[in-house]
Amino acid sequence: MANPLLVRSRTRVQGQRIVLGITRIIILALTVLGSALSVSFAADKVPPGNRNVEQPAIPGASVRRTKAGKTSFDLKYEKVRDLLRTDSSLMGKIKKSSAAYGIAPIHMIGAIVGEHTYNVDAYDSLQSYYVKAASYAGNSFRFAYEDESISSFVERPEFADCDQYSDSYRLWTCREDVWQDRFRGKTVGGTSFPNNRFSAVFFQPFYAGQTFGLGQINPLTALMLSDLVHEKSGYPTLDVTDAASVYKAIMDPDISLAYMAAVIRKSIDDYKSIANVDISSNPGVTATLFNIGGSQQRARAFAARKASGAANWPEENYYGWLINDRLDELEALL
């Protein structure tokens, strides 16, 4: 006759084994489910290369500037390519800045090549950029439209809602949106405002459309990314009432490279968080966004087109098309 105590003991052990087995099955199922969820919610990676077979049209202003300089796009491309190839100090700084912001250095190469092919002509050496930056040091700059400084302008009641933002990116993006909606091309309080971009009206006192330095950063863009650059690179946060410090940031090559990397980092993050696409492996797309700006607004617009079935992937413009087209040659510089 079986020992009752022994039977109960065996039953209890068998029960424990069953519970343990069920637990293991549940854990395994949750692990598999979690993996599936992580895969399904991963951002769609933009394929390499160009979506357009032929290069999109180059703006007339870029064509006219290049003709006025008695040069060509091919010559300008070759000049900046050769600068990157021969200036090991510059390439070292590019790689260091890229690493600080978690981006591949080819994105910065693409932005520099695009700017100096289509917008400005490259200097012969990195030292020339330092000399140019020094030539602006000590000059008196002021961000204003006519007699109204930007610091006074953003105190207007229309901008009150922007005061809720403490970070530089959301604060200045909000102010730019208010300009676009409430002031651009309108007469407000007896003052007629130009039908032009916020950055061109208030932040470029020399002539509209002017940008500066190695990365051709716009002063408004620098103000937006001031907090990110301070966090990642340790440079002082920018003050809109101290225009000279803003110009130093965008003209000094060392600081300018940090802002370039920040622009690219923000573009990648905006498209991933807003449109659920990963553009980090397509330098032509990041170069396009570096050129045209407004990555947050453009990510929203693309997300809407994607949701409606009107678009599958972000497309490169003429500037980004060149980078993808010459990608093998540019990657060889690294």
Q: Model confidence at 21, in pLDDT bands (50, 70, 90)?
A: low
> CA 305 to CA 299: how far, in whole Å?
10
Task: Answer yes or no: is 198 within a domain.
Answer: no
Query: What is the structure's pLDDT at 35?
Result: 42
* Residue 93 binned pLDDT confidence (cut-offs 50, 70, 90): very high
Instruction: Report yes or no on whether pTM surpasses 0.75.
Output: yes
312 and 236 co-located in one domain: yes
Quick one: which of 305, 234, 225, 312 has its CA closest to 269?
225
% of the chain residues with pLDDT over 70 = 85
Measured CA to CA, the distance from residue 62 to residue 118 in angstroms comes to 6
* CA quadruple 143, 149, 154, 158: dihedral sign: negative
Together in a domain, 80 and 118:
yes
Q: Is residue 165 in a domain?
A: no
Same domain, 128 and 2: no
Q: Using one digit for the tens of pLDDT, what is the confidence trace for 133-144?
A: 887 776 677 899
Total domains, the chain:
2
In the structure, what pLDDT confidence band is assigned to residue 204 with cuts at 50, 70 and 90? confident
- What is the domain extent for residue 53? 46-143+203-331
Q: Are residues 28 and 55 in the same domain?
A: no
Task: Let me know if residue 183 belongs to a domain.
Answer: no
